[in-house]
């Protein structure tokens, strides 16, 4: 089983927001990483590509960011998302995308 504490989003597969149509059609956890290499947002999706098709981040000033992800079973999404948000919130990296 994957340990959320050992996941490094900078070593995961990623695409720019412009190429979000290349995201896989799988369930998983995603990270929005800005141009300064800071994790700005963590989320979950049952279908990563569909989730990002019209995501609200497209209007948030993060257009030069990239999306990193890892595949995960649907049943594990909630717990992993919560643990990863706690990990990065403690490091003061996360903010809410309006």
| Domain definitions of the chain by residue range | 14-90
Q: Pick from 49, 54, 58: which is nearest to 28 by CA?
A: 49
Record: fold of 14-90: GIY-YIG endonuclease (3.40.1440)
Interval 39-92: pLDDT, tens: 888 999 999 999 988 776 665 666 788 999 999 999 999 999 999 988 887 765
Taking the alpha carbons at both ends of the chain, their separation in whole angstroms is: 33
Which position has the higher pLDDT, 31 or 88? 31
What number of H helices and E strands is found in the chain?
2, 4
pTM: 0.86
Q: What sign does the dihedral 43-16-40-2 (CA atoms) show?
A: positive
Q: Which helix (H) or strand (E) holds 90?
A: helix 77-90
């Amino acid at each position: 089983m994957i340990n959320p504490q050992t996941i490094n989003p900078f070593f995961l597969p990623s695409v720019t927001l412009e190429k979000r149509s290349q995201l896989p059609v799988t369930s998983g956890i995603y990270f929005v990483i800005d141009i300064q290499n800071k994790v700005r947002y963590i989320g979950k999706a049952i279908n990563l590509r569909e989730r990002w098709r019209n995501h609200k981040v497209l209007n948030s000033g993060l257009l030069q960011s990239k999306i990193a992800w890892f595949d995960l079973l649907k049943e594990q999404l909630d717990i992993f998302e919560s643990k990863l948000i706690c990990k990065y919130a403690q490091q003061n990296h996360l903010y809410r995308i309006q």
